[in-house]
Amino acid sequence: MDSYSESISHDQPDDQPQDRPNNQIKERWVVIHKFRTIGDAIFHMHAFHAIAAVAPQHRIVLAMPGSHPSADLFVDDPAIEKVVFIARNARFRWGRIKNISVLRQEHFSRVWILGRSTSYAMTALCAGIKERLGYGIRWPERICLTRRLYRPMPRPIPTEVPKMSWAFLETYGIERLPDGQKPVFTQTRLQQAYDQYADLPRPWIVFGIGASHAHRRWPSTCWVTLADALVQQWGGGGTLFLCGGEQDRGTASYIASSLTTKPSIVYLIGEHLSVIASILQHAYVFVGNDSGLFHLAGAMNTCPVVGLFGVSPVFTYLPNALQIAPPRGISSSMHALTPYYVTQQILQHCQFI
């Protein structure tokens, strides 16, 4: 099977109408999500759920670029019929041909394009999708959208990604759902993940040490100092969970080997996101870089969440998270956030149970 046409689908009972062959379903909507990071998927989670709430069968198909860990977020989500993977560089001829083929064989009646993308709008047009809705900020994109359905974005256009998608949906009268930002995992999956670690000593401290951009990663030595300070503050024991992608395995090993305190160490490197979500439900605190795991923790909102923003601006869409920036403002280096300053901010502002 071609890598771009692979999909993740959800098994449903045989009597459900959405399980009929694609060409027998009159109304079927697809949402094209042009980014593929975990953070970007969390940004748009509210949009996926809000669109699904008004869609036929109250479900959508999600099309996203390439296989990525962010697809873990949708394995249990009843609003997502399935995830199909499309080419990221749809502006190139071969990628566009692949995408047209993937979209055409699914027989979609409407497409929602989240993000500014002329190439995906043109792909949807060529795939024969009758109703095409998108931001339409650039005129080449706008001419590929369905004119009778197009609604101009409000001016000024919000610069923060989640707020941009909120504004887009509001122009079509689609309301945000109260828990629309929160990823959905079955209780069985969460319990199975929790059972693996249930006997580990408390409190549980969770560090999200990775980031998709290297300049957003806090130095390893800073993580070591912070971990020692928090472990000492909370009794000298507990468990430290080190979370990240495969590229963060070396950093995790360095942190674990450099600690002067002796908490239990658990490596959650490259783990399914449902495992991390389960740990967050029982964590004492989560501390992470500006990364997908920080946004996952913020959306779950089950423990105090701390984000480290040394080189990037804080987000206003997560009001319950403590987002720490350098005292003198955004810097060119994460070294501007000192472990002492971060520790003091955590102890002063986080409400611990």
Q: Which of 121, 138, 171 is the last residue of a domain?
A: 171
The verdict on 26 and 158 lying in the same domain is: yes
**Mean pLDDT along residues 71-88:** 92
Q: How far is CA 351 from CA 87, 228, 338, 348, in A?
A: 44, 20, 21, 8
Examine the pLDDT at 316 and tell me if it is beyond 50. Answer: yes
How much is the mean pLDDT over the chain? 89
The confidence band for 14, taking pLDDT boundaries of 50, 70 and 90, is very low
Provide the domain limits for residue 269: 187-349
Q: Which of 32, 42, 172, 179 is nearest to 106 (CA)?
A: 32
More confident residue, 238 or 19: 238
Rg, C-alpha atoms of the chain: 22
Pick 138 or 46 by higher pLDDT.
46
What CATH number should be reported for the domain holding residue 151? 3.40.50.2000
Check whether 147 has a pLDDT greater than 90.
no
Write out the H or E segment, with its range, that includes residue 94: helix 93-105
The answer to whether the beta carbons of residues 102 and 22 sit under 8 Å apart is no
For residue 182, is it within any domain? Answer: no
Whether residue 242 sits in one domain with residue 161: no
Tokens of 345: 């901010």
Tell whether 286 and 248 lie within a shared domain.
Answer: yes
User: Percentage of residues in the chain with pLDDT exceeding 90?
Assistant: 69
**Minimum mean pLDDT range among 177-186, 234-243, 262-271, 313-322:** 313-322
- Shared domain check, 322 and 236: yes
The domain total for the chain is 2
**pTM to 2 decimals?**
0.88
Helices (H), ranges, 136-183:
139-142, 161-171
Same domain, 138 and 202: no
Sign of CA dihedral 239, 244, 250, 255: negative
